[in-house]
Amino acid sequence: MREIEMQPELEQPEQQSPPEQQSPMDQVLQHVAAEVLETMFFTEAELADCEHTWLEAASSARIGFEGSHFGEMLFGLSAEAVDPIAASFLGLDPAELTVAQRGQVIQELTNILCGAMVSHLWPESRLSIASPELTSWQEWAAEGTLHRCFAIPEGRLAISIRLLPRPHPPGNES
């Protein structure tokens, strides 16, 4: 049977716990989301209740990372927020956006969030981050997943991040 090397699990976030009871990883997630959205997208993200009906129509992207830690992140942005967020980033009017630009901004936002997140979580690590891919939102199993929803003035966003079993290279199977 092939052995799979297990990695340290992500700590489970407390549901709606006060800030002082939130895990360090949860705090990092919130801090990074706020910093990224304020710095390059000129908007303010606040923690929000997880109500997921909007995610079906959301624009989402998935991004993987590997190295000293192996895992992936999923990002979803509510449909009504896509145009204002993309326009803010590019300094355009929403009417000037192309379809391609909308998708590319979602991908780049996912990329920046993931990179900032893993750099904050594991600053001493050695990591490479894959290219983000547009996808539809997936509900990952709660166990082993750090997940948060946020409200921004333009709409909502959701972030899930999880570590995965690291596959061994071929030849190590017993």
Partner 1 sequence: MALSSLIVGISDCKVTRDAESVLVTYALGSCIAVAMHDPVTKVSGLLHYMLPESAIDASKAQQNPFMFADTGIPRLMDSLKAAGGEGKRMVVQLTGGAAVLDSQGVFQIGKRNYLAARKILWKAGILIAAEAVGGEVSRTTRLEVGTGRLWVREGGGIERELVRKQAAPKAVERQ
Partner 2 sequence: MAYSVLIVDDSPVMRTFIRRVLALSGFEVGECTEAGNGEEALAMLSTHQVDVILTDINMPRMNGEELLRRLEADGVLKKIPALVISTDATKERILRMLALGAEGYMSKPFTPESLREELERVLGDRNAGDRNATRA
Residue 96 as a binder of partner 1 (CB under 8 A): the answer is no
Q: How many CB atoms lie within 10 A of CB 168?
A: 13
**C-alpha to C-alpha distances, 76 to 61, 101, 125, 133, 154, nearest whole angstrom:** 7, 16, 26, 12, 13
Q: One symbol per residue from 26 to 55: x for binding partner 2 (CB under 8 A), - otherwise; what is it?
A: ---------xx--xx---------------
CA 15 to CA 126: how far, in whole Å? 31
Binding range to partner 2, per CB under 8 A, among 48-56, 71-79, 102-110, 166-174: 102-110
Residue 43 as a binder of partner 1 (CB under 8 A): the answer is yes
* Alpha-helical segments (H) within the chain: 24-41, 79-90, 99-121
Q: Which residue, 107, 141, 148, 112, is CA-closest to 38?
A: 112
Residue 30 as a binder of partner 1 (CB under 8 A): the answer is no
Residue 91 as a binder of partner 1 (CB under 8 A): the answer is yes
Residue 42 as a binder of partner 1 (CB under 8 A): the answer is yes
- Binding-site residue total for partner 2 (CB under 8 A)? 32
Q: Which residue, 162, 159, 166, 163, is CA-closest to 61?
A: 159
Nearer to partner 1, 40 or 130 (CB): 40
Site residues, partner 2 (CB under 8 A): 35-36, 39-40, 86, 89-91, 100-101, 104-105, 107-108, 111-112, 114-116, 118-120, 122-131
